[in-house]
Chains A and B, each alone.
Chain A
Amino acid sequence: MNSAAKNSLIRKGSAASVVLLIVFLAAWQWGPGLLGIPSFIVPPLSMVYDEFFRMLHVNHLMTHTAITAAEVLAGFVIGSLLGAFIGYVLGMSPTAEFALSPYILALQIAPKVAFAPLFIMWMGFTVYPKILVAILIVFFPIMVNVLSAIRTVDPDLINLARAFKATRAQIFWKIEFPASMPPLFAGLRIGSTLAVVGVVVGELVGGNMGLGYLLSFGEGQANTPMVFVTILMLTLVGAVAYLAVIVIEQRVLHYLPTRAFGGV
């Protein structure tokens, strides 16, 4: 694609996006009324907007958002580091992989969010059980991606390094580790959205902090606009996490040919 065609695509695409956004917001504002949907089922945009400012003052919306965001960050970072580390270890040691694979498979199949009540019983109404659920849920996609990346490095590349008398550590740092970067980042993208899921489930199950708590609080009050606001804030937290991964990915994987618009 030449740059003129690319620019015109960007222009047309962004114009369409803006139009779509306006149509969507208008439909949200006036659609429920026109269709006779009561506002406790789908509150119109203006109600959600007002509720947002009310929550800012009355419900400490930003404090809850910050708590959730911090839990997401902690769970995502720790879960990613652990997942990548175990992925590299298992990737380099087939024996360890063979010994551990049944347990890993079982844990992978088990629905991770189901551990939330257990963790809360163990650790009480603190931030830790929420972080732990996030760690657990983030861990697997990253570990699996790293492991299979190490497994699928072209053996001829390894032989090339071996023929230059590379040590095991050199093979890892010069070949295997950089080769694992694209799959690692694919795992991190998935992990960044899953971390939000893990944290929210943890907060829904117990405690009086975070956006998950506001969700159940709003539900208890039958305050639909509050639930809408909270969902929007959660989406925002997830989007920031995802975008952060993409920004880092583009710096690390700068050597890859630019994919036209596979961006997000």
Chain B
Amino acid sequence: MSDVVRLEFRNVSMRFVEATGQSLTAVAGVSFSVRDGEVVSLIGPSGCGKSTLLNIGSGLYAPSEGEAYVDGERVEGPNAHVAFMLQKDLLLPWRTIVENVMLGVEIQGLPITERKRRAQALLENLGLAEFLDRYPHQLSGGMRQRVALARTLAVDPTVLLLDEPFSAVDAQTRIVLQRELAQTLKRAAKTALLITHDLLEAVTLSDRVLVMSRRPGRIIDEIQVDLPGRDDPIARRHEARVNDYVSRLMDRLDIGHDSLNTAGASA
């Protein structure tokens, strides 16, 4: 991990105009940065603007105020430095697994042989070598999420934005997938921002956890996770101090609720 900043939000605010014509402030004055190779989790109550931040980071939304930077460049639209993965796998049912993984590189115009090579290598790493030519409906939910991860990695982004990637899979599969993600991130030395509601997932997978308040979302705390083995979340689960971190996050989220009642009234 170096000190190069890969992802940065500077004083980002986002207002939406609702159907009723009222404006809604989803996030307000958010600033943070993620260094090269770092995995940072973002937690906060539902509706506090986590996904909004992810959309700003991936260039799909333009922030109302402030700006986002990826690799030192201001984000002004979708760009090849970032790739995202959502709770929904978003696999295209008419494409085989390997074709799904190639979607991004195909759009970006890589030669077909290189596309194939990358997709196959990624799928093999994720234990899906036998499934290259299957269709998504023939795979389990956990396997489909793995394919989605491979598709995200195939474009070789420097920053991965992950929005509750495992919240739709069963608890046991989730643990396996968490370990695969952790190992993959470590091996490829990727930088990642992970949105999650699972506090244990946040602690076991990341170097740092950012806590957001209720809407309008602000960063209200930042916790450095000083535990060994970021590439092995299963081993990390056995660390005694994991519970301390989790309870601290729970506390912080409660404080978030309280501060909302005052902050929300004035917004």
Partners in one complex: yes
Binding site for B on A (CB under 8 A): 154, 156-157, 159-166, 170, 174-175, 178-179, 181, 255-257
The residue in B80, B82, B95, B103 that gathers the most chain A C-beta atoms within 10 A of its C-beta is B103
A256 touching B93 in the complex, CB below 8 Å, given contacts A162-B60, A163-B82, A165-B79: yes
Contact A165 B107 (CB under 8 A): yes
Contact B78 A165 (CB under 8 A): yes
Q: In the assembly, what is the distance between CA of A14 and CA of B231, in Å?
A: 59
1/0 per residue B171-198: CB within 8 Å of A? 0000000000000000000000000000
1/0 per residue B114-146: CB within 8 Å of A? 000000000000000000000101000000000
Q: In the assembly, what is the distance between CA of A160 and CA of B155, in Å?
A: 12
Check: B200 CB closer than 8 A to any chain A CB: no
* Closest chain B residue, CB of each to CB of A256: B93
Q: Which residues of A contact B55 (CB under 8 A)?
A: 159
**Complex partner residue of B103 from A154, A164, A181, CB under 8 angstroms:** A164
Contact A174 B78 (CB under 8 A): no
Q: Which residues of A contact B90 (CB under 8 A)?
A: 154, 156-157, 160
1/0 per residue B30-67: CB within 8 Å of A? 00000000000000000000000001001110000000
Q: In the assembly, what is the distance between CA of A175 and CA of B106, in Å?
A: 13
Contact A164 B93 (CB under 8 A): no
Q: Which residues of A contact B94 (CB under 8 A)?
A: 178, 181, 255
Q: In the assembly, what is the distance between CA of A113 and CA of B202, in Å?
A: 64
Q: Is the interface of B mostly helix, strand, loop or mixed?
A: loop
Contact B107 A161 (CB under 8 A): yes
Binding site for A on B (CB under 8 A): 55, 58-60, 78-80, 82-84, 86, 88, 90, 92-95, 103-104, 106-108, 135, 137, 155
Contact B107 A170 (CB under 8 A): yes
Q: Is the interface of A mostly helix, strand, loop or mixed?
A: helix
Additional pairs, 12, CB under 8 Å, beyond known A159-B55, A165-B107: A154-B90, A156-B88, A157-B90, A161-B103, A162-B78, A164-B78, A164-B104, A165-B79, A166-B107, A174-B106, A178-B94, A257-B137
Q: Which residues of B contact A164 (CB under 8 A)?
A: 78, 83, 103-104, 107-108, 155
* Closest chain A residue, CB of each to CB of B137: A257
Q: Which residues of B contact A255 (CB under 8 A)?
A: 93-95, 135, 137
**Complex partner residue of A157 from B79, B84, B92, CB under 8 angstroms:** B92
* Closest chain A residue, CB of each to CB of B83: A163
* Closest chain A residue, CB of each to CB of B96: A255
Q: In the assembly, what is the distance between CA of A255 and CA of B88, in Å?
A: 20
Q: Which residues of A contact B135 (CB under 8 A)?
A: 255
Contact B60 A174 (CB under 8 A): no
**Complex partner residue of A163 from B78, B93, B106, CB under 8 angstroms:** B78
Q: Which residues of A contact B58 (CB under 8 A)?
A: 163
* Closest chain A residue, CB of each to CB of B87: A156
The residue in A157, A165, A178 that gathers the most chain B C-beta atoms within 10 A of its C-beta is A165
Q: Which residues of B contact A179 (CB under 8 A)?
A: 92
29 A-B residue pairs with CB within 8 Å: A154-B88, A157-B90, A157-B92, A160-B84, A160-B103, A161-B107, A162-B78, A163-B82, A163-B84, A164-B78, A164-B83, A164-B103, A164-B107, A165-B78, A165-B80, A165-B107, A165-B108, A166-B107, A170-B107, A174-B92, A174-B103, A174-B106, A175-B92, A179-B92, A255-B94, A255-B135, A255-B137, A256-B137, A257-B137
* Closest chain A residue, CB of each to CB of B79: A165
Q: Which residues of A contact B108 (CB under 8 A)?
A: 164-165
* Closest chain A residue, CB of each to CB of B58: A163
Q: Which residues of A contact B103 (CB under 8 A)?
A: 160-161, 164, 174
The 7 closest A-B CB pairs, nearest first, are: A164-B104, A164-B107, A166-B107, A178-B94, A163-B78, A257-B137, A255-B94
Contact A156 B86 (CB under 8 A): yes
Minimal beta-carbon separation of B136 from chain A (angstroms): 8
Q: Which residues of A contact B78 (CB under 8 A)?
A: 162-165
Minimal beta-carbon separation of B2 from chain A (angstroms): 26
Q: Which residues of A contact B60 (CB under 8 A)?
A: 159, 162-163
Contact A163 B59 (CB under 8 A): yes
* Closest chain A residue, CB of each to CB of B84: A163
Q: In the assembly, what is the distance between CA of A255 and CA of B60, in Å?
A: 30
